[in-house]
Structure formats: structure tokens, C-alpha cells
Structure 1
Amino acid sequence: MPTLTVTSKGQITLRKDILRHLGAHPGTRLEIDKLPNGGIKLTAREPKGKIADFCGFLKREGQRPISIEEMNEVIARGWAGE
């Protein structure tokens, strides 16, 4: 059974094989449950939102969507100082 060492700052490092087993990657939040026998349960939390929920986030009421071509035109005019 693998063991971990607690640093002087009270931190531990989980090995890659343990993180893979959890399905964790950089940015993953880990949930820790304290068990009554002094143990802990560690679970990787799934993100709650979907990228599809973000689409249209900046759209304002009554505003029509604009095309990439229109965005590029506005950007070009901005760079030209217009």
C-alpha cells in the first residue's frame, strides 16, 4: 500500500497513479469527506456546468447575433483608429 508523507506545511502530494485512478487532472477539485473512524474519502468532483451553457452569455436582450465577418470588420476599424 502506498504511503504519503506530510510536509512541515501540512501538505501531501498524491502520486500520478492515484490521480489517474480518481480521474483527476490539473484544475480538478477534490472533495474530502471525513469518516468516523479517522479516515477520509477522496472524490474528484465533476464540473457542474457545460460549455454549451456558456454560449450566448454576452448576448444582450434585443440584440441580434453578429457574424465573424462583422466582428472582423469592427476589429479592423478599431485598429485603423476609426
Structure 2
Amino acid sequence: MVRLKVTAKGQVTLKKEVLDHLGVAPGDEIEIDLLPRGNGNIHAMKPMVPIDRLFGMFAHKADRAYSIDEINEAIEAGWAGEGKV
């Protein structure tokens, strides 16, 4: 358990131990869910991945393009239990 003191201005400084546990660094944000009976749940707000990093994520990486017939044969072989593992 980590104990923190509240200043006269109502501020709390999180100890390095807490920051390391949450995985936060200067400039990062944390969020506190207010729970009943004066309790709270604190967690780090992880930054969202920029949309441009998702482009090309499922890009075709095979050595060559496969024909519809080859794809259908592979599907049939898979259903028959003959597919490669």
C-alpha cells in the first residue's frame, strides 16, 4: 500500500513507485473512477493509436497471388481435414 498526503491546495503528488506501476511518464494522463463510500479506482489513460498506423496492417504478404480455384481447393482441403497446419 502506498500512502500519499494531500496538500493545503488539495493536490497530491504521486510517488515514483505509483507512476512506475501505472506505466505513466510526464505528460501522460491518469483517470480516477469515483466509487461509493469515498473509494476510487485509478488507471493510466493509454494514448490511442493514430489511424494512419493501421493502414496496411492487413496488406497482402504472400509471395504470389492465388487464383479463385486455388483458394477454393484450399478451402475444400481444409474442410476435409487435409489442410496444412
Find the structure with the greater CA-based Rg: 2
Answer whether TM exceeds 0.5 for this pair. yes
Which residues of 2 match residues 24-43 of structure 1 at below 5 A?
24-43=24-43
Count of residues in Structure 1 that have an aligned counterpart in Structure 2: 53
Partner of 2:19: 19
Paired residues for 1:34-73 under 5 Å: 34-50=34-50, 52=52
List structure 1 segments (4+ residues) > 3 angstroms apart after TM superposition.
none
**How far did 1:2 drift?**
2.3
1:51 CA drift (Å): 8.0
Identity of aligned residues (%): 47
Deviations 1:2-32 (A, max 9, x none): 2111101100011001111001111111011
Distance 1:10 1:51 in 2: 38
Instruction: Tell me the amino acid that sits aligned with residue 48 of structure 1.
Output: M
The aligned residue for residue 3 of structure 1 is: 3
Q: Where do 5+ consecutive residues of structure 2 fail to align?
A: 54-85
- What is the TM-score with the length of structure 2 in the denominator? 0.55
| Secondary structure of 1:20 counterpart | helix
RMSD of aligned Cα (Å): 1.7
Read off the aligned partner of 1:19 and give its amino acid letter. Answer: L
